[in-house]
Structures are given as C-alpha cells and as structure tokens.
Amino acid sequence: MAERRPALISAYRGLARALTPLFHLLFRLRSRSGKEIVARKAERFGRAVSNRPQGRLVWVHAASVGETMSVLPLVEALTASGNKVLLTTVTVTAAELAEARLPKGALHQFMPYDAPGPINRFLNHWSPDLAMVVESEIWPCLFDALHRRGTPFVLLNGRLSDKSYRSWARVRNFAGYLFACPDAVLAQSAADAERFRRLGCRRVETPGNLKFDAAEPVADPIEKQGLLKQIDNRPVWLAALTHPGEDEIALDAFQRLRLEFPSLLLLLVPRHPSRAEAVCTLLSERGLKVSRRSRAQHIDQSTDVYLGDTLGEMGLYYGLAPVTFLGGSFNDAGGHNPVEAALAGSALVTGPKVANARAVYKDFWIDDAASRVETPQELVDKVAGLLRRSDTAKAQAERARALVEAGRGALSKTLDLLQPFLRPRKETAPGAGP
C-alpha cells in the first residue's frame, strides 16, 4: 500500500489542480512584461517540445541565473562522463544563459507549474534517472511526485535560511513529509545542514557551496581593451545586477559622488536586461547621457552612464571597474552571489539584504573581503573611500579572491557524493498515481 499523504499535502495538490486553469492567465500576464516566452508556453504546462535523449538522463532544476551559473560546471562534468542532462529554469534570463552556455549533451526546458497535471506530464515524458533541485526550490507537488515514483532525488547545493526554517517548522507534519522526500540533501554549509536535519531530511551531507567553484568570469580581451581606451583615465564604479528601486539608489549615489569625482563614469548593469528601456527613461529624466552596450555605442567624455544591457558579460563589466556595488541587496531580492566579482578583482560593496548568499557574505565580511552598508548614504561614503584609496580597494579585492580560492572543492565532493545515484537503476513504470 502506498504511503499515505498528510492532509495538508493532499489539500495543496487539490488546490493546485483546481487552480491550474488560472495558470494560463498568469502566463499571459507575465509574458506581457517579458517574464515568459509565448512560443514556449507548452513547457510551463509539462508538455515537452523535444524528445527525451537516449541513455541515462540527469535532470537539474535551477530557478534563475544565480543558480544556473552555480551548476553549469556540474552540468559540464556530468555530460563529460557520458550522461545526458536536462536543465530546467523558471526565469527567461536563466533560459537565455542556459541556451548560450550549455555543453553538448545538455538541453534546456522551462520548469512546469507545480500542479499534479503539469508535473506528471513532465515526468512521464522525461523519466529522469536522477532528479536534482538546486538550493531552496521546494515545491510540494514535485517533491511528492518524485517520491511516489521512486526517482532518485537530491536537493543540490541546499540552502535554507533561518527564517524559512521557522516557517516550515510551524507546519511540522507537512514539512516532515516533504523534507523526507529527497534521498539526499547536499547542503551549502553546516548551518543549512542542521536546519534540513531538524525538518526531517533523511540523509544530509555538506560538500560545500558550488558557487565557490564558479568558473573565472569571461571577458573578451579585445573588447575590454577597447572599452578601457574609450574610458581613458576616468574613475569608474559599477552598479551591478540592480533591481527596480536600486537604479535610483545608484543614480543618487553617482550624482553625489560626482561632486568629488567630476569625471566619474557609472557602469550600470540591470539584473534583467529587458528593463533597459525603463532604465534609459530614468536616466533621461535626470538629464544623464547614456551609452548602451547592446547598441555598440561608444563611451566618450560626455557619457555619464554606460548601460550594460547584455547577458553573459559580467566578467567584462567587473573587469572595467575597481569598485562594484552588487544589487539585489537594498530590496527583497535577497542579494546576488559575490564570487564572480571577487574572481574578477573588483572591490565589493553590498547592501544589508543578502539572505540568498548569507553564508558566503558572512565569510567575506569576517575577512574584510567585502563592505556592507546599511543605507544609501553609507553606499556613497564607502564607494568614495574606495575610489580615493585604490590600494585599499585592491587589497580588499585580493582578500576576496583568496577567500574564494580557499573555498573551492565543492564540485569534486558533490560529484563523489552523486556517484551512487548515477549508477543504472531498474526501469519503473512512468505513471505516478493520482
């Protein structure tokens, strides 16, 4: 007899099934703002547009760009050892990154909505030999379906904040069933591992954070030299991966910094390039002259802001700026991974809200390898100080790179722990019950 689901799990599944028709409206609304690709709608409802590849298939789900970047080296290692890999994402920017960076033997699809119909259609078609969900993508219908099918299932590079742990702990019966579904959790840190254990995960290991094993950020040397020539000797700072509301903070800081550094150039890179037109409107309203990377517009002495409205060029932008403010940290986005900036040699300043990468930032702050500011005014003061003292900025960046280098090794440990799940398994029926 199949294990009985807790009442809350059954209720969640029933509600998700009833609401599935509304996902069509949700998709339409999101597509209007560029958050969905209309031509790929079928994927969000579990209807594949590609055939399942022959052989062993490993499915990796990484929601957005940060998670995708962290697992690309793992995907490369898996394909190099003969596995086929299916990578799913939620965001359009992560999909674009995946399409550009996936190795031969890997393919991309969008993640289906977490409802019984879409999830079962997806799993029936792809029938993965191993399923891996990255960080904190905890979806009840998906977890339940994988558990019921007996699909080997790993929570990869697992992260669970103290706030999330407390929320799950309030629904102990629900959480106990859900967190027992993965066969293993590979946690980023000891603190994450302990939270997962308390919630009922059966096996928890701590190989480290895959984000420390990120590849060196790529920058075309010819492009970099060309831009450096255009910038000439002007001081430069970068506001990277900004979200709505943070563009205004960066521009306020920039205009104050210009009182001390009149020739200062701001490199502004929104987290989502699709926001470029809105950002340009904001710049125009402030009377600032912008040159856009996507349009190959040159930087001259009259350029106030260079807008990095492209994907896959963060290595270039970090390499142009000795000081970087990393966005997603003055709003509720939860911060962005600082490893790329550290590897590129840019001194890092962040706001206070970095829950998504707190374990990484904690080490950075302890080692004085990054600066944390609490308010926009402190951002002005910190960036000004680093621009005044280039030796201080350089020393901070060197400490950050050393810390990242010391933290590497999670990839090889993760691959070792995955080996038992990569062995051939007996064929199972595709169905999963109601």
Positive or negative, the Cα torsion across 60, 96, 240, 324?
positive
pLDDT tens-digit map of 351-370? 999 877 777 888 898 889 99
Q: What are phi and psi of 270, to 5 degrees?
A: -65, 150
Beta bridge partners, 105, equal none
Alpha carbon 262 to its chain's center: 35
Regarding pTM above 0.85, the answer is no
Q: Report the candidate in 419, 422, 411, 417 with the shortest Cα–Cα distance to residue 74.
A: 411
Considering the chain, what is the average pLDDT of its residues?
93
DSSP labels, 332-352: TT-----HHHHHHT-EEEE-S
Q: Please tell me the predicted confidence (pLDDT) of residue 333.
A: 85
Q: How does pLDDT run across 201-241, given as a tens digit for each residue?
A: 999 999 998 988 887 888 999 999 999 999 999 999 999 99
67, 96, 135, 313: the catalytic one is 67
Find all residues with CB under 8 Å of 106, minimum gap 6, and list them. Answer: 75, 79, 84, 85, 86, 87
Coil, strand or helix at 52: coil
Contacts of 78-81 with C-beta under 8 Å, sequence gap 24+, read 79/103, 79/104, 79/105, 79/106, 81/422
Per-residue pLDDT of 295-339, as tens digits, reads: 999 999 999 999 999 988 999 999 999 999 999 999 988 888 899
Q: How far apart are alpha carbons 321 and 228 in whole angstroms?
A: 10
Predicted confidence (pLDDT) at residue 197 exceeds the cutoff of 80: yes
216 in catalytic set: no
- Burial degree of 33 (CB within 10 A; 0-12, 13-18, 19+): exposed
48-90 pLDDT, tens digit per residue, is 989 999 999 999 999 888 889 889 999 999 999 999 999 999 9
